[in-house]
Amino acid sequence: MSEVIQYNPATGDVLGTVPEASPDQIRAAMTRARAAFPIWRATPLPERLAFLRKLRLLLVEQAHGIAEEIAAATGKIRGEALSAEVLVVADAIHYYERHAETFLARQRVATPILFFGNRSYIQYQPLGVVGVISPWNFPFQLAMIPVISALIAGNAVLLKPSEVTPFVGTLMERLFKESGFPEGVVQVLHGGRDVGAGLTAARPDKIFFTGSVATGKKIIAAAAEHLIPVDLELGGKDPMIVLADADLDRAVNGALWGAFTNAGQVCMSVERVYVERPIYDEFVRRVTAGARSLRLGEDVGSMTFPPQLALVEEHLRDAVEKGARIECGGTAAKAGTLYFHPTVLTGVDHSMKIMRDETFGPVLPILPFDTVEEAVALANDSEFGLNASVWTSDLAKAERIAAQLVSGNVCINEVISTVANPHLPFGGVKQSGIGSYHGPGGLHTFSHRTSVMLNKGKKKREVNWFPYTAEQERAFHTIIRLLFGTSRRATLADIRNLIGQVLGKDSKDSRPAGQAGPNGKEHTS
């Protein structure tokens, strides 16, 4: 049996192994999930939420230990594991505990006058079995939130956590078990790309994937063979626009945290900064000094995945060869670990990989601009569109700029934060993904919408049914003119009278089919 190895990236130590799921085990897990789904679906929503409340309370009780486990598996700072993983997940659960019944409730909508007397509504139904494939950079948050959203909506879930951080997968497995979720409702499948492919081949009713663009394309191509719907939360190359009137201290601190938190391994990391020329030199000076002051192992954790460290080094080589200057950092540290010194780059342009491709590491390239129009054009000159930020004391100007940015999320005098607000939908545009979650849509994306039109069934026929008559045609013409023409003076009584004229004196005509109507023609139901 194959095994997945868990390393501690900050020390290089092997922490242990986890058995990889075999093809037979994947199929068996799908069988269990299919059997569990009808029972879980029939469980009233308040009871489903009670399981989530137990999970939330477990997170609170075990927060320190959970953060320790996440930090050991990823190399991140324990405080970051608490704030960006445990706290965000607990907040998301609490948010849905309060709002899920409203979000999933039957939604009444209007009915056109042609169908007067009918009622129309939308109801939300679970999809079935949802496959969640999650990444290694935030292996707890980016797995748990889609999983809990799918569960609340009434689905069974198969979770494949990243093979880079398998111990976070076993941690989640344990938490769901301790929370008492019924057998088969949520299962964890450990392993690499073969397990992900096996999960897709098992034909879940939806796939939710967070990860790289390249892998996302492979998943959606495989899912398309069976018309499996897919949500993709992919990469970013997030721009930060700093205007001359910005609070410089706040903007510098925002850039440092936005670029170097989680060692820059955030899909919403600040990966390119555009600074208005009058403050460019001072901004670079302060950011460089701030980056030099950050402490490895205390402020900035290690990177998590060795190939990602190699990619960072490749991007830096390409930039330097094309004329960029390293102001600080630029080298790995602590041999045998994945620590990398926070790095600031100047002299960059859009011909460089560092300004076009996702770097996903502790690197901050900075470029000056002269006009707002130039800054917006540079920010939008990217295949990605996940997040952006605008920094200025003129909030009206900031909102005008934000409206011009092609991005799923925009922060003003803030950075990254939209992903941690459960009220806001989160998702990207362009190569940054398809679909969104969080907010009401975080439950709706794991539901199918059923449109229902209800008629009391007391009339023998409707005004638009057979037989077609000249009187009916004249009535439709009158209705169109009265409702949508320049006069638009129709009242509800007018429309009812017209319908009554077409159906007969009583619009609730109850004569049986085959009986002659008032015009001498056979009446049909």
The per-residue pLDDT for range 146-160, each reduced to its tens digit, is 999 999 999 999 999
Q: What is the pTM of this model?
A: 0.93
Whether a cis peptide bond, with omega within 30° of 0, leads into 467 is yes
**Low-confidence residues of the chain: pLDDT under 50:** 506-525
233 catalytic residue (yes or no)? yes
Domains of the chain: 3-234+440-450 (3.40.605.10), 238-421 (3.40.309.10), 458-525 (no CATH)
Mapped onto helix, strand or coil, the DSSP state of residue 63 is helix
Out of 233, 271, 276, 358, which one is annotated catalytic?
Answer: 233
pLDDT, residue 490, reads 63
pLDDT, residue 524, reads 29
pLDDT, residue 508, reads 44
Q: Which residues pair with 387 in a beta bridge?
A: 409
Tell me the CB-side half-sphere exposure of residue 470, using CA atoms within 13 A: 2
Strand pairing class (238-242; 447-454): unpaired
Q: Which residues pair with 442 in a beta bridge?
A: none
pLDDT, residue 86, reads 98
Distance CA 176, CA 195 (A): 21
Residue 198 tokens, joined: 């096996």
Strand pairing class (14-19; 129-133): unpaired
Of 28, 228, 23, which is closest to residue 130 (Cα–Cα)? 228
Distance CA 357, CA 321 (A): 16
Strand pairing class (447-454; 119-126): antiparallel
List the beta strands (DSSP E) in 281-360. 325-328, 343-346
pLDDT, residue 511, reads 36
pLDDT digits (tens, 9 = 90+) for 19-45: 999 999 999 999 999 999 999 999 999
The dihedrals phi and psi of 251, each to the nearest 5 degrees, come to: -65, -40
pLDDT, residue 489, reads 65
